[in-house]
Structure 1
Amino acid sequence: MVTVAPPDTWTYVLRLPHDPRAARVARMTVRAALSGHGMAQALDTVELLTSELVTNAYQHTKGPASLRLTALGDGRLRVGVWDSSPHVPAPFDEPPGARVPLTPVGAEGGRGLFLLRQCANSWGGWSFGEGEGKGEGSGPPGRGGAGKLLWFEV
């Protein structure tokens, strides 16, 4: 009997509506994908950082978002979140190693991207601009959309 080993590279893509439950759906997707592919050792970190990016997409845009999980084959996992805003926030607009100001102690938010900087091995972001006058919710890149893509690797 011939057996087939599962590939060590794979990709999952999930389109998320502009909904406060999107971060929960993203966490559940991450948990299912990583557990199913034997990557449970990275689960807590990936779940936390994915939740932060999806929450930021919800809070700072009016359109949908997309989540992409990609196993790169050498034990690394890349997580990308696209949203409809072209603004790339720090630390994604700075090279790794650049100093990003700390969030004030009394602030209600602003720590998620700091966590990403502490927990991810690498990260980056690309702005795709405003698009062709479509603005918020115009769709992901490659389909005439605008916005940005933020990613991290663990």
Structure 2
Amino acid sequence: MPENQAEPWEYCLYIPNDLRAVTVSRRTLRLILTMHGLIRLVDVAELLAAELVSNAVRHTKGPAALRVCWSAGVLRIGAWDADPEPPRPPRSLEPDAGLEDGRGLALVRACADLWGWHPLARHGNRGKFVWCELAAA
């Protein structure tokens, strides 16, 4: 039986700078959401997490992390990476013959209820946190 969905929870998965981490992150997120009775959010959440983690490992050189939080009926998915540079602005989802990638944040913007990013610079840590939210209803 799923846990009470009213109770807040949080998970953090630290990952190496390796594209295989995208698959590990998706599968871990699926397991977390299933165990908490949030299977209806899995497909969109997996897509969002894959885009955020993929950006973190493709565009930076250091480690990264996936953070998943549930509170007040909202699922927040975020990816931390060690690069303090802001994410590239979302491109259009329209097909462009010259682009093979670069649409990740546009997908996040289109599928999430809310998204954003902020730099991190406390306790000597540098980097950024890119996040998005999905409402349960």
Q: Could you tell me how far apart the structure 1 residues matched to 2:112 and 2:19 are?
A: 25
1:29-68 to structure 2, matched below 5 A, reads 29-68=28-67
Provide the TM-score with structure 1 as the length reference. 0.77
**Structure 1 unaligned blocks of 5 or more:** 92-99, 130-141
Higher gyration radius (CA): 1
Give the deviation of 1:102 after TM superposition: 2.1
CA 117–40 in structure 1, closer or farther in 2 if over 3 Å, else same = same
1:111 maps to which residue? 103
RMSD, matched Cα? 1.8
Count of equivalent residues: 129
Identity rate, percent: 44
Which segments of structure 1 move beyond 6 Å, counting only runs of 4 or more? none
Give the deviation of 1:88 after TM superposition: 1.6
**Structure 2 unaligned blocks of 5 or more:** none
8 Å Cα contact 2:17-2:62 kept in structure 1:
yes
8 Å Cα contact 2:56-2:64 kept in structure 1:
yes
